[in-house]
Amino acid sequence: MPEKDISAQIIPAPIEDASELLEAAPETLAILNLFEQMDATAPLMRLIIAASIVGVSLLLLMISRIVIRRRILQVEAIPESKFRPLRWQAQDLVSAEDMQKFWLRLWRGLDWALSLAFGLVAVTGMLMTNSWTLQLAARIITVFIAALEYVWSGFVGYLPNLVTIIVIVVFTRYLIRLIRLIFDGIRNRRIYLKNFYPEWAETSFSLIKLMIYALTAVIIFPYLPGSSSPAFQGISIFVGVLVSLGSTTAVANVVAGVVLTYTRAFKVTDQVEVGGTRGRVVERSTFVTRIQTLKNVIVSIPNSMVLSNNIINYSANMGQSGLLVHTTITIGYDVPWQTVNELLIEAAAMTENIVDHPEPFVLQTSLDDNYVSYEINGWTRNTEELPKTYSELHANILDIFHAHKVEITSPAFRAVRDANESTVPDVIPREDAPEKSAQV
Confidence bin at 193 (pLDDT 50/70/90): confident
User: Tell me: the pLDDT tens digits for 399-412?
Assistant: 999 888 888 876 56
Of 303, 300, 309, the residue nearest 282 (C-alpha)? 300
Check residue 436 and give its pLDDT.
Answer: 52
* Range from 14-18, 284-288, 389-393 that averages highest in pLDDT: 389-393
**Is residue 139 scored above 70 in pLDDT?**
yes
Statement: residue 178 has pLDDT above 90: yes
What pLDDT does 200 receive? 84
| Mean pLDDT calculated for residue range 242-259 | 73
Residue 225 is predicted with a pLDDT of 78
pLDDT at 199 over 70: yes
The residue that leads in pLDDT, 255 or 396, is: 396
pLDDT of amino acid 140: 76
pLDDT at 86 over 70: yes
pLDDT of residue 62: 92
In this predicted structure, what is the pLDDT of residue 438? 41
Q: Rounded distance, CA 100 to CA 80, Å?
A: 7
The whole-angstrom separation of Cα 119 and Cα 124 is 9
- Whole-number pLDDT of residue 173: 93
pLDDT of residue 364: 92
Question: Is residue 417 scored above 70 in pLDDT?
Answer: no
pLDDT score at 5 = 43
The whole-number average pLDDT for the span 299-325 is: 81
pLDDT at 425 > cutoff 70: no
The pLDDT assigned to 362 comes to 94
Q: What is the pLDDT of residue 19?
A: 41
Which has more confidence, 306 or 13? 306
**Domains in the chain: ranges and CATH:** 253-313 (2.30.30.60), 317-440 (3.30.70.100)
Instruction: Name the residue with higher pLDDT: 101 or 238.
Output: 101
The Cα–Cα gap between 205 and 211 comes to 10
Q: What is the pLDDT of residue 8?
A: 39
292-295, Cβ contacts within 8 angstroms, sequence gap of 24 or more: 294/384, 294/386, 294/387
- Is the pLDDT at 9 greater than 50? The verdict is no
pLDDT of 227 reads 67
CA dihedral over 307, 308, 313, 317, signed as positive or negative = positive
Mean pLDDT of the chain: 79
Percent pLDDT > 70 in the chain is: 78
Residue 440 has pLDDT above 60, yes or no: no
* Whole-number percent of the chain with pLDDT over 90: 18
CA distance 127 to 133: 5
Pairing of the two strands 277-284 and 323-331: unpaired
Q: How far apart are CA 375 and CA 365, in angstroms?
A: 7
Give residue 15's pLDDT. Answer: 36
How confident is residue 175, by pLDDT bands cut at 50, 70 and 90? very high
List pLDDT tens digits, range 327-384: 999 888 888 899 999 999 999 999 988 888 888 999 999 988 888 899 999 998 887 7
